[in-house]
Chains A and B, each alone.
Chain A
Amino acid sequence: MAHQAHAYHMVDPSPWPLTGAVAALLMTSGLAIWFHFHSTTLMSLGLVLLLLTMYQWWRDIVREGTFQGHHTPPVQKGLRYGMILFITSEVFFFLGFFWAFYHSSLAPTPELGGCWPPTGITTLDPFEVPLLNTAVLLASGVTGTWSHHSLMEGERKQAIQSLTLTILLGFYFTALQAMEYYEAPFTIADGVYGSTFFVATGFHGLHVIIGSTFLAVCLLRQIQYHFTSEHHFGFEAAAWYWHFVDVVWLFLYVSIYWWGS
């Protein structure tokens, strides 16, 4: 390797942007083919290609950061800005659904009966499973912070155990939400109440699944000694993301489940 006189990461040429772009093409074209010809072959092919790309691209980033030492302080700063901008964009994504919810609920149209929840809608009791879900997510935030501090103090065993607990709480939340969806007395087709409810909570649930996966990857990396007490940005990014998902839930709980019922 030639001598490098600066701290920036000069990346190797990578095939993954190309394979990822083709995966997106196959999935979107596959969706259209599925709608028109009832065949899911192309879409599944695109999904497999996307999963292969995701695995190998992120595997390479771990190699570059942990094994090759390319994630120097200025590079980490770039990663931090990247994650902050990504989470900001996610905030605006959810803002759109809250806008739709408040637009419909603050001045309910005559078609809804002029009231919220709309006439004929039986809502979920916010003090049953949704309150438990709030407690579960808040508790997972606590265990996540416990894990982070254990990591910074070099307490390997505690870091692994508390991170495992965080992930288990994440899966418990997902299981409770799945149960709640199954039991819900309304559907996504029940007017604007059903659509705003299921789109907002559904995308939140998807983000919980993504966040749990991110934390699970961090657990595997922690078990394999990838993180040091000083340098563990992958873990911090996962923790930021998890807190973001947690905060979105608090807004969903207060707005849609509680005030909206």
Chain B
Amino acid sequence: MYYKFSGFTQRLTGSVSSTAYSPQGLRSSIPSEASTLIFATPTKVISESGASLEYMGANRVPDLQKIFQSSDGIPVHLKRGVPDRLLYRTTMALTVGGALYCLVALYIAAQPKNK
């Protein structure tokens, strides 16, 4: 019996030998020997990598991850600061104002036309 890792169930499932020997994501052309281990190399952040990768702008995801992973207790919908608060307050004002306006409009609509 041969096994492979199922991407759907996230578990090991049975498979045929050919799949087990060349699993998905691995290319048979890549040599199987591990490269020489190099210790204590300074880690390179993705956004600092070469300009050849920067097609249509630089990668700002690592910076944004830093902002959104800071533990300040602020919920995710307000975490970006002023623009978030502005948008949130506008939406909430429309929600409360709209609900009241709706109740008034429905009350007026419920009044008989001819008394």
Binding site for B on A (CB under 8 A): 1, 12-16, 18-19, 22-23, 25-26, 29-30, 32-33, 36-37, 42, 45-46, 48-49, 52-53, 56, 60, 63-64, 66-69, 73-74, 77, 80, 156-157, 160, 223-226
Contacts and interface: CB of A to CB of B under 8 A. Distances in A.
Contact of A13 (B75, B87, B102): B75
Contact of A60 (B69, B77, B91): B77
10 contacts: A14-B75, A15-B92, A22-B95, A25-B102, A42-B105, A60-B77, A68-B69, A223-B57, A225-B60, A225-B61
A66 B102 contact: no
Given A15-B77, A48-B94, 13 more contacts: A12-B77, A22-B95, A25-B99, A25-B102, A30-B102, A45-B94, A56-B88, A60-B77, A69-B69, A157-B55, A223-B56, A225-B59, A225-B61
A188 B92 CA distance: 39
Interface of A is mostly: helix
Interface string B48-59: 000001011101
B95 A49 contact: yes
Interface in B58-74: 59-61, 64-65, 67-69, 71
Nearest to B97: A45
A111 to B, nearest CB: 38
Contacts of B101: 42, 45
A74 B10 contact: yes
B68 A68 contact: yes
B76 A160 contact: no
Nearest to B75: A12
Contacts of A46: 98
Chain B interface size, as a band, is 20 to 34
Given A25-B99, A64-B76, A224-B57, A49 B68 contact: no
B79 interface: yes
B106 interface: yes
A15 B88 contact: yes
A69 B61 CA distance: 12
Contact of B106 (A1, A29, A45, A80): A29
Contacts of B88: 15, 56
Contacts of B92: 15, 19
Given A63-B79, A73-B10, A15 B68 contact: no
B39 interface: no
